[in-house]
Structure 1
Amino acid sequence: MKSLFFLYTLLYGIAYVQAWLGRTQSAAVKGILLCNGNPLPRTLVKLYDDDRGIDSDDLLAEGHSDQEGRFELSGHTDETTPIDPKLNIYHDCNDGAKPCQREISIMIPDRYITVGKFARKIYDAGIIELAAIMVPGFILLLVVLPFVNLSSALIGRTQSAGVRGQLLCHGKPMSGVLVKLYDDDRGIDLDDLMDEGRSDADGKFQLSGHVDEFTTIDPKLNIYHDCDDGLMPCQRRITIMIPDSYVSAGTAVQRYYEAGKLELSGTWKGETRDCIHRRA
């Protein structure tokens, strides 16, 4: 009887300590980093547990991409609730002489969390092209010049842009995803739709279009999808600003922006939801 009482006491004590200290959880991520289509080596990458509160995020692992732009991180921490793993990428692709570094954050889905110190599933972030800029759903324009838009309508020169890539959901091609190519007017005017379409059976898409503008156009790619979205209303939207170096004069695209292999299950910083976009 005493031994049974001792066993119960021991089990209760272990459960109490685990509840107070938290249970060990782990996560892992890998991917390939590109800059204008070329591997980006020596790029700092960090894996965090995003505490989403007043506490600092817990650093799980950090490292740098290799000569082929590849990286892989894994780590663990103790938390009473499920951890929120995120990948931070710090880079200087297309950054010129600007101080500090550009930062991209990707929240890793809960299904890639493992109980214990060793991650059993690795989140594949895909092939990430860092030349573009991931933007929030709303852009605040500090100065609006209406006469420029009027001039654009009257004098504008023809400019074109094109983009292509592949969309994945948990590593599998995602077909039928609506993608749109816009010229972002960043003012009171509506953005100009240059092209739209859907990804094919392999998750691949290609868009191109042209528009007349007085100033250099600001092409952007919008992706509307339901990867890892459950029964949530509307759709998830990712917006990628395409660099000016991919803008061509005339109606024919001279250089396509390669968006890479985009894994859509993770949550990209700046991602929004969209309920009113017109379906193709």
Structure 2
Amino acid sequence: MHTLTILLLSSLALMAQASHQTVGVRGTFMCGDKPLVDAEVSLWDRDRWPDADDRLSTVHTDKNGHFEIFGTDDEWLSIEPVLKIYHRCNNKGWFNLPGVCKRKNSFEIPTSYINKGQQVGKWYEMGTMNMEAKHKDEDSKCT
């Protein structure tokens, strides 16, 4: 029982030392030579088991395929930011039916873009990316 109390108090002390960390990403997605309009862009903090990943923020690309997203998480270890985009660019077959499936691409954001506090310190600039080609480790999200 004494060991359990020490572990519990140690865990609480570590959580009390958690700090706000913020990351921001911006860029433009294209589908061939056309802007990828209204694609869902989500920023996540990848966590390790048993803690589930945290969705920090979600936006949609504008009429020019541009997006700007940032998110903050309160963690005691460094956050592991991942940008996920869900889209239908170059979807083939029945996967392209409305409401069925979207392509899902994930991009790990370098830790050098994480800022302590609740403001973006340095934006990760993705530039312009053509989402037409299949990417390594691409997945799909079906509803």
Report the secondary structure of 1:101's partner residue: strand
The one-letter code matched in structure 2 to 1:72 is: E
How much does 1:56 deviate?
1.8
Question: What is residue 43 of structure 2 aligned with on the other side?
Answer: 47
Name the aligned partner's letter for residue 106 of structure 1: F
Instruction: Identify the structure with bigger relative contact order (alpha carbons < 8 Å, sequence gap 6+).
Output: 2
CA shift, 1:20, in A, is 1.5
Secondary structure, counterpart of 2:27 in structure 1: strand
Query: Between Structure 1 and Structure 2, how many residues are aligned?
Result: 123
Segments of 4+ moved more than 6 angstroms: none
Q: 1:115 to 1:17 in 2, by over 3 A?
A: farther
- Mapped pair 1:20 → 2:31: no
User: CA distance change for structure 1 residues 102 and 50 in 2, over 3 Å: closer, same or farther?
Assistant: same
- Separation in 2, partners of 1:68, 1:51: 32
Identity across the alignment (%):
35
CA distance in 1 between partners of 2:34 and 2:13 (Å): 47
**Counterpart of 2:101 in 1: which secondary structure?**
coil
CA offsets 1:134-177 (integer angstroms, 9 cap, x no match): 125xxxxxxxxxxxxxxxxxxxxxxxxxxxxxxxxxxxxxxxxx
Cα distance in structure 2, aligned partners of 1:78 and 1:41: 32
Rg larger in structure: 1
CA deviation profile, 1:31-90 (whole Å, cap 9, x unmatched): 101001210111100001011333221111111000000000011011110000110000
Q: Corresponding residue for 1:111? A: 112
AA aligned opposite 2:14: A
Whichever residue aligns with residue 19 of structure 1, its letter is L
Gapped regions of structure 2 (runs ≥ 5): 1-10
Q: 1:26 to 1:95 in 2, by over 3 A?
A: same
1:1-280 pair list within 5 angstroms: 19-21=14-16, 22-96=18-92, 97-98=94-95, 99-136=100-137
How does the TM-score come out when normalised to structure 1?
Answer: 0.42
Name the residue aligned to 1:151.
Answer: none
CA 1:18–1:40: 2 relative to 1, 3 Å: farther
